[in-house]
């Protein structure tokens, strides 16, 4: 099965050698009887949970929420029935579900923030670092980045997040559901808009303070 299609080749980042079973074999087992299914599920979980959590933390900025949504992703996997004969790409599937949940949370968080903003001038959350000034700045920067991500089209936000995680264009393409040739265009557009909005927010913020 493996080797026929280069896209089938799993990028095993977490387990490397420890992963003696290929992703496609695990997926096959996931579709089988209960005991092999549960074993396969846990192996997949061990293999990919850091990737999934990584996506969700970046998008939500909240450990608890990232963890809860990660569980959601794997619960979806457990109940998802991959069509037999379908050329699955497990990693791409997981990234797709994760970025989708992450983006929804990012959006709804943004809506919430906008409501709050109208009610009161929001204070940035204080971190717990020894230098509160630095922590506040870091938190502000993180908030600003997520705020802008929320305004981008979902695919573009996903591209930026996955690229930051060091994924190749081929991997991003699988996760986002486009051809590898379109990733460059998506990234370039996303970066251009991101930069524009970030700089104009900065300007507004400075203007407002003075």
Asked if 6 touches another protein (CB under 8 A), the answer is no
Residue 29 or 210: which CB sits closer to another protein? 29
CB of 205 to another protein, least distance (A): 15
**What contacts 101, CB < 8 A, 6 or more positions away?**
56, 69, 72, 73
In a 3-state reduction of DSSP, which class is residue 2? Answer: strand
Q: Is residue 113 at the binding interface for another protein, with CB under 8 A as the rule?
A: no
Is the CB of 78 or the CB of 82 nearer to another protein? 78
Q: Tell me which residue has tokens 């959350």.
A: 125
Q: How far apart are CA 184 and CA 153, in angstroms?
A: 15
Q: Using CA atoms, how far apart are residues 8 and 1, in angstroms rounded to an integer?
A: 8
CB of 69 to another protein, least distance (A): 11
Out of 12, 82, 100, 124, the only residue in the binding site for another protein (CB under 8 A) is: 12
Binding residues among 135-164 for another protein as defined by CB under 8 A: 138, 141-142, 144-146, 160-161, 163-164
Using alpha carbons, list the distances in angstroms from residue 186 to 168, 190, 192.
14, 6, 10
Mark residues 46-85: x for contact with another protein by CB under 8 A, - for none: x--xxx-xx--xxx-x-x--xx--xx--xx--xx------
Q: Please, are residues 138 and 165 in contact by the beta-carbon 8 Å criterion?
A: no
Report how many residues bind another protein under the rule CB under 8 A.
75
């Amino acid at each position: 099965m493996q080797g026929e299609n280069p896209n089938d080749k799993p990028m095993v980042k977490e387990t490397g050698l420890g992963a003696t079973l290929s992703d496609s074999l695990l997926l096959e087992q996931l579709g089988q009887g209960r005991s092999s299914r549960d074993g396969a599920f846990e192996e997949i979980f061990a293999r990919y949970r850091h990737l999934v959590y990584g996506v969700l933390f970046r998008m939500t900025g909240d450990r608890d929420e990232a963890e809860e949504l990660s569980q959601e992703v794997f619960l979806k996997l457990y109940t998802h029935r991959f069509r037999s004969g379908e050329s699955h790409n497990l990693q791409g599937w997981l990234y797709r579900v994760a970025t989708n949940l992450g983006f929804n949370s990012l959006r709804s968080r943004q809506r919430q923030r906008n409501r709050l903003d109208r009610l009161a001038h929001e204070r940035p959350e204080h971190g717990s670092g020894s230098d509160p000034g630095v922590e506040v700045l870091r938190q502000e920067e993180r908030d600003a980045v997520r705020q802008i991500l929320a305004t981008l089209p979902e695919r573009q936000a996903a591209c930026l997040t996955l690229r930051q995680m060091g994924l190749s264009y081929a991997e991003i393409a699988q996760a986002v559901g486009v051809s590898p040739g379109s990733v460059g265009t998506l990234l370039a557009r996303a970066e251009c808009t991101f930069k524009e909005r970030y700089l104009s927010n900065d300007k507004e913020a400075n203007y407002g303070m003075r």
